Every structure is written in C-alpha cells, then in structure tokens.
Chains A and B, each alone.
Chain A
Amino acid sequence: MTLAPERPQTASLVQQFEYGLDAPICLTWELTYACNLECAHCLSSSGRRDPRELSTEQCKAVIDELQRMQVFYVNIGGGEPTIRPDFWELLEYAVNHQVGVKFSTNGVRITPERARFLASPACGGYVDVQISLDGATAEVNDYVRGPGSYDTALRALQNLQDAGFQDAKISVVCTRQNIGQLDEFKALADRYGATLRLTRLRPSGRGADVWDELHPRPAQQRELYDWLMAHTADGEQVLTGDSFFHLAAFGESLPGLNLCGAGRVVCLIDPVGDVYACPFAIHDNFLAGNLLEGGFQQVWQTSPLFQELRSPQTGGACAKCEFYDSCRGGCMAAKFFTGLPLDGPDPECVQGYGEQALGQLGGERVIPPASQDHSKANPTRNQPVMLKLLTRPPVSDCAESPLAGFDPDPRNP
C-alpha cells in the first residue's frame, strides 16, 4: 500500500474503513453474465455468457489468491452462477481453500439433489444460499423477474428445507410494488426456516431503465425504515447488506457500517476478471483494472481509482446538511446512474434534496450510457412483461387514431 493517503492512527473504525483495507471484507464475484431469467432491473445487464469469461483454472487461481489475501468469504452472483457447468466444482474448491461462499441464485438449479449436497458435510456449513425473490406473491415477483420465477424460487426454498439446509436467505430488492409486502416476506422466510434479507434497488445496469417506475416513493422509504427499525431491534435477524445507509438520515442508524464501502472495503470481480469499485457500479468510470494482468491483489492495492476513493471526500453540497454524518451523502452508484453529481445528494435522499436535485436538472439530466450490456438480443418467454408500466401511449400516429393528421376538408380552419 504505497500510494495510500496518510492514515491517522487515532481514527474511528469507520474512518479507518474510509482509508481502505489491505483486502476487501465484502467481495462480490459474478461468475457469469449468462442467465435463464431477464429481470427488468438486473444490476449487471445479464443474459448472455461473455466468451471471455474466466476459465475453471483461472477461477481457481483467483480463489488461491483470495485465500492468500485472507478474504474469508465471497458473495458469488451473476448472471445466474449455478448455470456455469463448473459452479459446484468451484464452490467446493473455495470451501476447501478457506474461502466461504455466499451465492445468490434464482433457484433454477437448486434441485433436491443439489440441496442435499449444500446441506452435506462437503460444504461444511460454509456455504450460504440466497434465493432472490422480489415479490411475496407471484404477481408482484413475476412482474419484474419474469413468468414462473416465483415458483422456481419457492421450489428451491422447499428443496433446501427438505434437505435440512440451515438458514437459507430470501433476498429481496425493495421496490414500490413490494414495500407493502414486508410482513408477508417475513412470514415466507419463517415458513422456510430462512432469514430475510432486504436490499436497495439500484439504478444500475437494466435497473437504469426501470428505476423511475420501481424505486420506492418517499413515504414508502419511511415505511421501510420504520419496519427495519422494528425488526432489527432486540437482535431479530433481518439482513440488509448494509444497503440502506441513506435512510440513516431519518434519525437512528440501522445496524451495519453505514458508509459507502466502494473500493474501500467492497469491490466486484466481474465474469471476465474486471475489477469494479462495487457491485452496483459496473461501468468504465468505476473500473479499477483486470485481475488477469497482475492479479487481484495488485488491482486492489494499487489502482489509482481505488486510491482516489480512499482519499478524504469533501461531501460537496451535502457537507452543510445536518444529516451528513448519518448518511455520508448516500450511494455513489445511485447518484451516478441517475445523472447526479457524485458529491451531491443521493437521488433518494430522505430529506428530499435528491428529488430537488433531479428536479433542478429536469430535461438537462443525462443518464450515463451503459459500458456493457449482456442482455439477450432477442427476448425469450422468460422476459418479464411490465404491462402496467406502459402508461404513455404508443408514439405512432396510426395507433393514436386511424385518421390522425387527416383533414378531409383542408379549407376548414
């Protein structure tokens, strides 16, 4: 760590984290861009495999390096990681090399047999399974995740429970459509002996296209905050992946670090070995390097981008807000992908400054174009049909009225 800024010895733990760590605490590794689903809000715009994806041997070399760096666990995602033919082999390899695995899946390959494997001593209790579910009912879930995806997720949870797998996670992205279902999600989790995990909708990847329609309304943010405060008090387990620190400006902080960990304690390795500052920032602006060039450690410790993220931040327009110490300006990715300046308020700032900033930009607001897109070229039957969202009329004249623009008597005014 030669380029790192001077680190004060007496700083608090959160300040220490802002200066970065020698290795990440929370590393997300997306194994493939291939996916059987086409979720409307996919963070990584997944769908098709990238021909440059890391081979089995390259993945094992990454695991070896993570073991050397003492990265004690990774969050594996995608795409749908389990459709990589070597997924189970890599899972076992990681577990045997002291790298625990938490993987996110839509459940498509969690058969009774795989569930028994996950519950077996081969995994040594060292594997966490997160089943993605974005609605407590099929109607709400399939609306964004596609037809049949609710049944797939519940079947996977049932298989895990039947196999005796302990403490699966149900991972929910909170949206305008499902905030009202928090109690139902909790009941579902209880039914399957699972733990509920709620995370924030980010305008990243395909999420940029649907964020305006899906992100919770201001009153729903309050509802979510109150629900989380009630359900994380007295040690009750509802996980949040530390993703709601922007809600801290309502008052009390939620459990967790409550800081943006991008490039400091968090990063993302994508399927081709590119290293990004965080899982919600797959964009050239947040690309630190590729691990095939000199290894992951070199990227983590010496990339200029990460050095910059670990330098003291000014807080910009937010610095004079009395809540700045609570929310620390919110989520970098949420600002970037909604076209807001990185040193300004979060678009979902609970004090309303985000909406104000978006309003001021108005038509001038420029959403950064995507740097990569692995979406399927031709939609399949799994594509979600967000019918209710088509509130604007189709644009062609003929759909408006068969006689649009036709004046039988041009002499009439």
Chain B
Amino acid sequence: MDALLGEPWTLSPSVALRPEPFGALAYHFGNRKLTFLKRPELVTVVRALAAAPDVRTALETAGVPASQHAAYAAALRGLAATDMIRPRTTVQEAPR
C-alpha cells in the first residue's frame, strides 16, 4: 500500500476547485496548471484531506471502499505531481 495513505495531506493553498458535472476542475494559481478531477468522490476526498488526520481517513469519510484505496492513492499522487495537493507538514498549513 502507498505510504501516502498514512500521511496527513492538504489541498495546496493556491489551488481553487471549480465544481463541474463530472467532478471538478482544479486550478493552481501559482504554476497555472489546470487539472480535472474526474469523479465526484475524488473531489470529496480532496476537500476532506485538510481536516483528516491522514489520507486513509479522508477516503473513509468520503465513503471510498478499502478495495479502491490503492487506485485513489495513485490518483492523489498524480495531483501531487503538479502541487494540487501536498503533504501537511507544519501547523501553518492548517485547513482552509
């Protein structure tokens, strides 16, 4: 299992999520990357990250079954690659 599941993560402070019928569009005001979250469940997970102690809890909160956790972890890694989400390391990066 991806180590990310046990870590605290958050939406990057410069990212805005725009709801769309298929999920959401994520825009990073810093690097100006545009990404599509293709499932409403993924949007719920991303929004839940900041308040959850770790990623696994955010997935559970969003109702994602354990069998899909690996797939979601991979999707989250993809979002991390363009800094849409990032590890929560300091208290300053508290929930938005």
The docked-state distance in angstroms from the alpha carbon of A4 to that of B36 is 20
Say yes or no: is B65 at the interface (Cβ < 8 Å to chain A). Answer: no
Say yes or no: is B80 at the interface (Cβ < 8 Å to chain A). Answer: no
Stretch at the interface among A14-22, A108-116, A345-353, A356-364: A14-22
**Contact, CB under 8 Å: A22 / B29:** no
Q: Which residue of A lies closest to B28 (CB)?
A: A72
**Contact, CB under 8 Å: A70 / B32:** no
Q: Which residue of B lies closest to A1 (CB)?
A: B21
Say yes or no: is A302 at the interface (Cβ < 8 Å to chain B). Answer: no
**Contact, CB under 8 Å: A72 / B19:** no
**Contact, CB under 8 Å: A22 / B22:** no
**Contact, CB under 8 Å: B22 / A16:** yes
Say yes or no: is B34 at the interface (Cβ < 8 Å to chain A). Answer: yes
**Contact, CB under 8 Å: B25 / A21:** yes
Residues of B within 8 Å of A16, CB to CB, are 20-22, 38
How extensive is the interface on chain B, given as a class? 10 to 19
**Contact, CB under 8 Å: B18 / A70:** yes
**Contact, CB under 8 Å: B36 / A13:** yes
Cβ 8 A contact of A72, one of B20, B27, B36, B38: B27
Known: A21-B20, A22-B18. A98 touches B25 (CB 8 A): no
Q: Which residue of A lies closest to B18 (CB)?
A: A70
Say yes or no: is B62 at the interface (Cβ < 8 Å to chain A). Answer: no
Known: A72-B27, A98-B29. A22 touches B20 (CB 8 A): yes
Residues of B within 8 Å of A73, CB to CB, are 32
Taking Cβ atoms with an 8 Å cutoff, the residues of B that contact A are 16, 18-22, 25, 27, 29, 32, 34, 36, 38
Taking Cβ atoms with an 8 Å cutoff, the residues of A that contact B are 1, 7, 9, 11, 13, 16, 19, 21-23, 25, 70, 72-73, 98, 100, 126
Given contacts A9-B22, A100-B32, 4 further A-B contacts (CB under 8 A): A11-B22, A13-B38, A25-B25, A98-B29
